[in-house]
Structure 1
C-alpha cells in the first residue's frame, strides 16, 4: 500500500516479499507474505514492498539480523519471508503470524478493525500426509490470538500436505529457474522431478485436497451472510485461508483452480473474490 492514507507513524513500513518470476507483482503467490499483505492493507498501515528474489532470502534475513523463525527436522534453519521493518518503533519482525499480532498491538485502532476478534476456529487437520516445509508454531501467541495460531498451523498443514499439486506450477524466474528448483527441492527433501504428479495419482491427491478442506468449508457455512468467517467483515483467519488460495490460484492448472473455487458450495471462490479488496499492491 502506498502512502495515500494518513500514516499513524509518519513513516512507511518496509515489507519484504518473495519475488518469483518478473514482474514480481504479477506472480506473487507465496502464502505467508500474502497473509502479511492482507493484514497491512486491512490495518491501512502505509508500507512499501521490497521484492527479494527467492535465492537471496537467506542473505536478506542475515543482513537484517533476523534468525529463521522455524527449522527443518534436521535442525537446519528454514529461511523464508515475510519480514517487516517499522521505522516508527525500530522493530523488525520476521514471521507472518508475529507480524499480524504486532500490527494489532501497535496499531489497534487503525484500518478496518480488529485482526483477531473472538471466535471459535475449530478446524483440525490431523491426517498423516507428507509436509514440504516446517509449520510455524507462533509460540508467543496468547489469549484470543492463540486460537488463531492453532488455526494457522492447521490450515498451513492442510494446504502444505497437498502442495505437490502446486510445486511444478511455481512461476520461477526463467533466468534462474534451475537454481530455484534445486532450492525448492532441498526444502522439500526430494528431487524436483519426483514432486511432479500426474494421472491417477494427481486425481487421488486432488480428491484428498477437496476432502481436507471440507471441515474448513463448514466453518464458512456457519454465518450465511458470508463470505467471511464472521459474515461481512474479514479478520486474520480469513487472510490465512485467502493467502493459500492465492498460492493455489498462482500455481494450479487453470481447470483445477476453477474446480477448487467451486468446492463445498463455492465458499473458497467467494472468499477469494471478496479478499481482492485487501489485495492492493504498492
Structure 2
C-alpha cells in the first residue's frame, strides 16, 4: 500500500484536493491503477509528520533551507519515502515497471525539459493564485501558516502580492500568453497530449495547473469561464480527457 500525503482543504470543498502539485501525483497514481490511501495534512503538520516517517525535505525556494512539502509518498511494500512530484513519478515508473510509464523510456530528457519549461510558463499565475488560497481553500491552521510564511518569503503581506485593476488585467494576459505557447506545442502534436496519443507526466503537470484554476477560483468564477474557452475551448476538453485519472476518494 502507498500512502499519499496531500494538503487538507477547507471544509465544504467536495473534491477535497486543490493544490496543483499534489494533483500531479494523484493523476500518476490513478493512471497506474496503484493501490493507495490519502492522508490530508494541514501545512503546520507537514514537517513533524513527514519527518517522523523519514520522508526527506525538499528545498525552500526562498532561502535554500529544508522544506517539508506535499506531495510526498511512503511506499510500504518497498520501504521507500519520496517527496517531490517529479521524483515520485520517476520512482513509481521504476518500482512498478508493469504499470503505464509516465516518463516513457527515451523521453526522460524531454520530460525534464518540459517540466522546467512548464514551470517557467506558469510563473505569471502565482501572484494571482497565492493570495486567494488561505480564504478560499484552507482551514484556519493552514491559512495562518501559509499567510505568515509566504509573507516572509516575499517580504510583504501576502494580500499585497495580488495585482489589482489594470495590473490584474495584464497579469491574466500573461497567463493567457502562456496557454497560447502550450497550445502551439499541442497543435503540432499527433494526438491530444504533449507526447501525441499517450498521456505522460507533463500532461499531469499541465492538468494540475488547470485543476487549480477551476477549483481555487471556482467553477462559476469569471476566471475559470475565461480560461476554459481560450484556444478554442482546448483547456476544458483537456481537463475532461484527464478525468479518468482524477478520482479522489471520499
Greater mean alpha carbon deviation, residues 168-177 or residues 240-249: 168-177
SS in structure 2 of the partner of residue 277 of structure 1 = helix
Q: How does 1:149-160 map to 2 (within 5 A)?
A: 149-160=112-123
Q: Check 1:94–1:50 CA distance in 2 against 1; reply closer, same or farther (3 A cut).
A: same
Match of 2:206 in 1: 241
Q: CA deviation at 1:95?
A: 1.3
Give the Cα separation in 1 of the matches to 2:15 and 2:152.
26
Q: Check 1:160–1:56 CA distance in 2 against 1; reply closer, same or farther (3 A cut).
A: farther
Structure 1 residue 89 corresponds to structure 2 residue 78: yes
Structure 1 residue 183 corresponds to structure 2 residue 149: yes
Give the Cα separation in 2 of the matches to 1:262 and 1:55.
37
Q: CA deviation at 1:73?
A: 4.3
Match of 1:48 in 2: 37
Q: How does 1:20-31 map to 2 (within 5 A)?
A: 20-22=9-11, 26-31=15-20
Q: CA deviation at 1:167?
A: 2.0
SS in structure 2 of the partner of residue 26 of structure 1 = coil
Q: CA deviation at 1:50?
A: 0.6
RMSD: 2.1
Among 226, 235, 249, the residue aligned to 1:268: 235
Give the alignment's TM-score, normalised by structure 1: 0.79
Q: CA deviation at 1:214?
A: 1.7
Is there any run of 5+ residues in structure 2 with no aligned partner, and where? none
Aligned pairs, number: 244
SS in structure 1 of the partner of residue 117 of structure 2 = helix
Structure 1 residue 38 corresponds to structure 2 residue 5: no
Q: CA deviation at 1:40?
A: 0.3
Give the Cα separation in 2 of the matches to 1:69 and 1:24.
28
Contact 1:165–1:252 (Cα < 8 Å) also in 2: no
Contact 1:181–1:192 (Cα < 8 Å) also in 2: yes
Contact 2:28–2:89 (Cα < 8 Å) also in 1: yes
Q: CA deviation at 1:163?
A: 1.1
Kindly provide the CA deviation profile for residues 76-100 of structure 1, in whole angstroms up to 9, marking residues without a partner as x: 2233111111111101111110110
SS in structure 1 of the partner of residue 181 of structure 2 = helix
Give the Cα separation in 2 of the matches to 1:186 and 1:149.
30
Match of 2:108 in 1: 145
Among 192, 196, 215, the residue aligned to 1:250: 215
Structure 1 residue 68 corresponds to structure 2 residue 35: no
Q: Check 1:163–1:96 CA distance in 2 against 1; reply closer, same or farther (3 A cut).
A: same
Is there any run of 5+ residues in structure 1 with no aligned partner, and where? 1-11, 119-142
Give the alignment's TM-score, normalised by structure 2: 0.88
Greater mean alpha carbon deviation, residues 187-196 or residues 44-53: 187-196
Task: Looking at secondary structure, tell me which structure has more helix per residue.
Answer: 2
